[in-house]
Each structure stands twice: as C-alpha cells, then as structure tokens.
Amino acid sequence: MQPDFYKHFHPDEHHFVDKALDWLYRASEQHAVKLTDFLDPRQAYILTTLAGRHLDAQVRLDGGYENAERKRAWIAPDYMDPDGADFQLSVLSITSDDDQFAALEHGDFLGALLGLGLKRDKLGDLHLGSEQCHCVVASEIADYFRLQLQQVHRAHVHTELLPIERLQPVLQTLEEMNLSVASMRMDGIVSDVYRLSRAKVLPPIKNGRCRINWKVEEDPSKPLKSGDVVSFQGFGRFRVLEVEGETKKGRIRLKIGKFV
C-alpha cells in the first residue's frame, strides 16, 4: 500500500485499516469468509470504503435491526450469495424484580457487561425499556453473558437469551437545546453544551478524548456542521441538529440534540 494512503486516517485507526485490508485480501484472493466483531459506525465506514478497492470482495453489515449503530460485518468473495450470511446475533434480555431496576441507566448496563471481562467488540446496541434491557450480543459468547451477569449496579437481575427476531429496539431520544455561539469551532460548542470552561475542554480534546462522527479529532478549532455527532469522553454525545442562522450581533444560532 502507498505510504501516503494512511494520511486519510487518524493514527489510531491505522491498526484497524490494516486488519480490514487483510480481511478483504483473504476474501478476494483466498476465498475466505470473515465475520467480524461489532464495528462502530466509523469502522464500518472505513471497511466499506476499502471494500470499494477490492472488486472481488463484498461486505454486508447487520446489527439486528434497521437503524443499528454497532454492526457485525460479513466479508466474503463476491460470488457468494449474501442472503446466506449468518451474522450470529442474539438478544440478551435483562429483567429484575428489584425496585432499583427502573432507575438504572444505559451506562449502568454497559458497565456491568464490560465488568465481566469481555471487550466492547462483543456487544452491539443496548435498548433500555421500561421493564427490561435488550442487548444485542455475539451469539458465540452469549451464554457467557447469560450465566455471568447477575447484578447491574445494586439491582439483582435475571437474564434470558432470545433470538434476534425478538429484539425490541428503543430509539434513543434527544434532549434539544438552543445555543448562540461565536463560531462553529468544536471546542467552543463542546464547552457550551456541557457548560464547561474552554480551558477545561482543551486538554481532553488534544488528548484524543473527543470524536466527530466516531473519528478522533484532536484539533480544537475543527469546525462542526449540521448533522455531526460529537462524543466527549466522560460526558456523552450530542448531534448538531440545525444551523439556524445568525443573530443581529453576528453570532450563530444552533439547535443541539443531546443523547439521553
């Protein structure tokens, strides 16, 4: 590969780029089939982009439902029928008789699952309903989650494995807020969204703790645009819903949606 090819990707992504290229090479040259762990949207974008360079390989993505964020990839020679792809997805249903269960949040469930010693790559999206939490998991490790997960935060829980067809998706809601900012710089908008001083958001950004559309962004002056999803480690995520124009004083009016 050309050395300058990597300039299109953040240094933290180079390792994944190498893995993706190897998967595609094996599919096109060695007729191998690969089912990946769960990929985030940025990784899925990188893989499908690279797949365009390998005309003899195909990529299919599935996370269990139409609008899934995290998906597994099926990579195969181009002559194979994609309808036969098995993405090995299961649903871990978590319920409880504990009164504390209703107060649990998304992060409580994710923390409990990761606390079992497995990587995030084995988990897809989590759907927190009023009476249960449905987690999309890799089928090959699903029994481990079912047997090991006994408590979430302080609530004792019951677990059951369900076929992916019984997944009950819960669309994540956005809490809207309106901002008036001097510019579209990332650091200024992050500062206003989370009510932090500019001085407090600069070090985390420069240390790679901020992502735009799931890609690490270390430049505080990076301009945001409508539709961008920004994640700030330790604080959550938000989407720039709309750039509504300028005020009489030349400031920019924004509509922001915080994921809750």
Buried (b) or exposed (e) across 101-110, using 16+ Cβ within 10 A? Answer: beebebebbb
Amino acid at 202: L
Average pLDDT value for residue range 199-225: 93
Look at residue 204 and tell me whether its pLDDT is greater than 70: yes
Q: Name the band, by pLDDT with cuts 50, 70 and 90, for residue 10.
A: confident
Residues 153 and 102 in one domain: yes
pLDDT band at 44 (very low <50, low <70, confident <90, very high): very high
AA letter at 153: H
Q: β-strand 229-232 against 236-246: which pairing, if any?
A: antiparallel
Beginning with the edge strand found earlier in the chain, give each strand of the sheet holding 34-39 in spatial order: 34-39, 71-77, 57-62
pTM for the whole structure: 0.83
Are 11 and 44 members of one domain? yes
- Domain end point (choices 39, 59, 84): 84
Whether 154 and 178 share a structural domain: no
Residue 121 belongs to a domain with what CATH number? 3.30.70.330
Give the mean pLDDT of 246-255.
Answer: 92
CATH of the domain at 229: 3.10.290.10
Q: 239: which 2 tokens?
A: 């989407």
- On whether both 151 and 186 belong to a single domain, the answer is no
- pLDDT cut 90: percent of the chain above it: 77
Statement to judge: residues 72 and 121 lie in one domain: no
Name the domain boundary from 35, 51, 84: 84
Pair (145, 203) in one structural domain = no
Residue ending a domain, choose from 36, 60, 84: 84
Quote the strand ranges of 100-190, DSSP E: 123-128, 133-138, 151-152, 155-156, 158-163, 174-181
> 233: domain range?
174-259
User: What is the spatial distance between Cα 159 and Cα 149, in angstroms, rounded to a whole number?
Assistant: 7
At 28, the amino acid letter reads: S
| pLDDT 10s digits, 81-109 | 999 899 999 999 999 999 889 889 888 99
Distance CA 217, CA 126 (A): 25
Please indicate, yes or no, whether residues 182 and 160 belong to a single structural domain of this protein. no
Domain count, the chain: 3
Neighbours of 132 (CB within 10 A): 17
| Claim to verify: residue 147 and residue 200 sit in the same structural domain | no
CA angle 142, 211, 20 (to 5 degrees): 55
Token representation of residue 188: 């200024």
Same domain membership, residue 11 and residue 80: yes
**The predicted structure's pLDDT at residue 9:** 82
Asked if residue 77 and residue 11 are part of one domain, the reply reads yes
